Structure 1
Amino acid sequence: MSDSDSNKLSPTAHYSEKKHIVPTERCGPLSVYVQGDLSQQDKRAIFLTVHDLGCNHTSFHDFVEHPTMAEIKERSVFIHVDVPGQEDNAPDLADDFQFPTMQMIGEDLVTVLDFLHIKYVIGLGEGAGANILLRFGMAHASRCLGLILVNVTAGKTSVMDYFKDKFRNWKLGQVGHNPTTEQYLVFHKFGHQLAQENDEVIKDREKTILDYQAKLRSAINAKNLKRYVDSFLNRKDITGVLEKNLKIDTLLLAGTKGSYGHTVQHLHTMMDKQKTQLLKIDDVGDVVNEAPEKVAQSILLFCKGQGLLTSVAMPGVERQRTFSGGESAEGPQLLRQRTMSMEEYDKPNIRRLSITAIQQKPGE
């Protein structure tokens, strides 16, 4: 097994989560999955996740189950939202159901927080889900401590618009996905790999894409997926209002080999630099699956900047040990501070603090 293989997320064997059906005003009933002990929310970091096209909440569930997320998972609760009709083996959405816009979904997410009696969350989204969370963050800044967004787009155009006209003529029936559908989604998720011709890369790429296509065909409702994609392709441009209206700390993540690298970098130039950080991860495109350790580290640094997960040690850094005599290496003052419990250390601090641990490379 190659190093890159060992980094990739493996399918989840079982689900330690509780499902809720949350009625909303414009999105209909949303399937929401709570991963963690919500009764401990005052002592935990609470994440709200929204998934990308061609998948559902299981993509983030699998990421949370990755070993590198173990300490974060232990002290957090993850609220995973499935966009309407995207659940595994979901029935067809009713013909008279008006699929919500990206803006409607973003605004209605606050209903999930109210339903579960959650005060504040950190938004964690990818692709189309990241676009939804941008809108949520602007609409409900008082309920959102910050945003961590992977491969986010805010404009109306993107590298995927090459496929836009083809998608207007989709004919998805009961039998499953039109080949053009899969081409679009494969490009959306794996476009960074399609131009690589190294033999080992080609072999890995083909297996990954085949696994992804099998998941699409076996679990994702094709007609419902088309409606999510159409909503994403018809999104309104919010780039021009971000600097003024997005008031919360935001971390943008992208891979240097990804199709979205330049898009995310350009978006960063349009945002408030005092509240926004850009992190580009080298040598990957699909950052969550190809570099989960670096994503986990970035999440932890961001949360520490918000006063969350302060007792979780950074990977490779051991917590200071106390001497047998009772004093720590840093002196008695720090030892007295450590009489607080881990849970007290982890209690959320809702002050808006800018992340300083992740620095943008010169010239980016």
Structure 2
Amino acid sequence: MPECWDGEHDIETPYGLLHVVIRGSPKGNRPAILTYHDVGLNHKLCFNTFFNFEDMQEITKHFVVCHVDAPGQQVGASQFPQGYQFPSMEQLAAMLPSVVQHFGFKYIIGIGVGAGAYVLAKFALIFPDLVEGLVLMNIDPNGKGWIDWAATKLSGLTSTLPDTVLSHLFSQEELVSNTELVQSYRQQIGNVVNQANLQLFWNMYNSRRDLDINRPGTVPNAKTLRCPVMLVVGDNAPAEDGVVECNSKLDPTTTTFLKMADSGGLPQVTQPGKLTEAFKYFLQGMGYRPDWYQSVPWFPPGRWAGVGSLRPWPCPSPQRLPLLPGPSQALASPDRLFTRLLSPPPRPRLCLLS
């Protein structure tokens, strides 16, 4: 991989071209942060506020960031020809290995919202060895049945496409208040995203299948996400019930559920500071510390089979190591750090950020 791929790229995949935007350059063996936006948006509308937040930029300068736009959803996208078959949600997930391979990423930390969260979760189920961790906002693991399909069709007959999508993105309170943010997104969804292409993506998302995950031990041969997961949803957001159900289906020892107060349907837009703080702690739980990036060699947190399979690795002197997070705030010596990173993460708890 070249030293810097910064900029826009169109990547060939088995199911068509994917528009990808790279920010930064690869940092050794560290994973890439790969994002996938929600339906109705693109990477700019979905993530610009979050990734432009000052504290988030302090984090991302240590990683290469890969923003993926769903087919035909990027700014200036050409309209698909008549009869074009939009990829299914499973096929959207199957397009991502081409991106990973093209840029030479060894692993990714995924950040997805809504439809994008579903795609990244499906990707992690199919290709678990490529995913180190996932931040899934507003994810709904449930498929859409005939009743849901009929309701969506009826809504499409009585509302414009931007308004239909807004009801997916924002809480009812935000829509009734017609906040400045809602007005801005109504205008941008209608003018920035190609409406015919958006309709195809919207239709496909609303015909998705169940994610088909179950908490380990609840059913024989249960399938679930093997990597650390942080679930995020705003209080009273339209996706709240879906995220709660997703939490019930994941491994409680590797999952954190974050419910953010006063954030509405798009917490990455309305509360970028709180989300950045949560993401920082999520990275720390995976073995990353911002002030260690330049000095501590990186080991893939999800790929340690046990002490017997590890070999000693160099570590900075104790005097240069920061305090570890936790109640005791004990000084981090090399042995302490080694123990810390080998230990399983604590059991998750519901986090309420107000």
TM-score range, shorter chain: 0.7 to 0.9
| Pair 1:109-2:89 in alignment | no
**TM-score, normalized by length of structure 1?**
0.74
Matching residue's letter, 1:267: C
Deviation of 1:250 (Å): 0.9
**Secondary structure, counterpart of 1:76 in structure 2:** coil
| Pair 1:33-2:13 in alignment | no
C-alpha contact (below 8 Å) 2:113/2:137 kept by paired residues: yes
Alignment of 1:51-66 (within 5 A): 51-58=37-44, 59-66=46-53
Alignment of 1:153-302 (within 5 A): 153-157=140-144, 163-166=151-154, 179-194=159-174, 202=177, 205-241=178-214, 243=216, 244-245=222-223, 246-285=225-264, 286-302=266-282
Matching residue's letter, 2:128: A
Deviation of 1:63 (Å): 1.7
Aligned to 1:98: 85
Per-residue CA deviations over 1:247-304 (Å, capped at 9, x if unaligned) read: 1111100111212222211221122212222111122222111111111111111111
Per-residue CA deviations over 1:150-200 (Å, capped at 9, x if unaligned) read: 000110249986841226x66xxxxxxx9431221111111243476xxxx
2:59 to 62, 65, 72: 72
Higher relative contact order (CA 8 A, sep 6+): 1
1:138 to 110, 125, 147: 125
C-alpha contact (below 8 Å) 2:8/2:19 kept by paired residues: yes
Unaligned 5+ segments in structure 2 are 217-221, 294-315, 323-340
Matching residue's letter, 2:287: G
Aligned to 2:107: 120
Change (3 A) 1:80 1:333: closer
Per-residue CA deviations over 1:7-51 (Å, capped at 9, x if unaligned) read: xxxxxxxxx94111110002x01011001113x342x45211000
Unaligned 5+ segments in structure 1 are 1-15, 171-177, 197-201, 314-331, 339-350
What percentage of aligned pairs have identical amino acids?
25
Deviant stretches of 4+, over 6 Å: 158-162
Change (3 A) 1:281 1:352: farther
Matching residue's letter, 1:21: D
Aligned-pair Cα RMSD in Å: 2.9
Per-residue CA deviations over 1:319-339 (Å, capped at 9, x if unaligned) read: xxxxxxxxxxxxx9521658x
**Secondary structure, counterpart of 1:80 in structure 2:** strand
Matching residue's letter, 1:308: Y
**TM-score, normalized by length of structure 2?**
0.76
C-alpha contact (below 8 Å) 1:287/1:295 kept by paired residues: yes
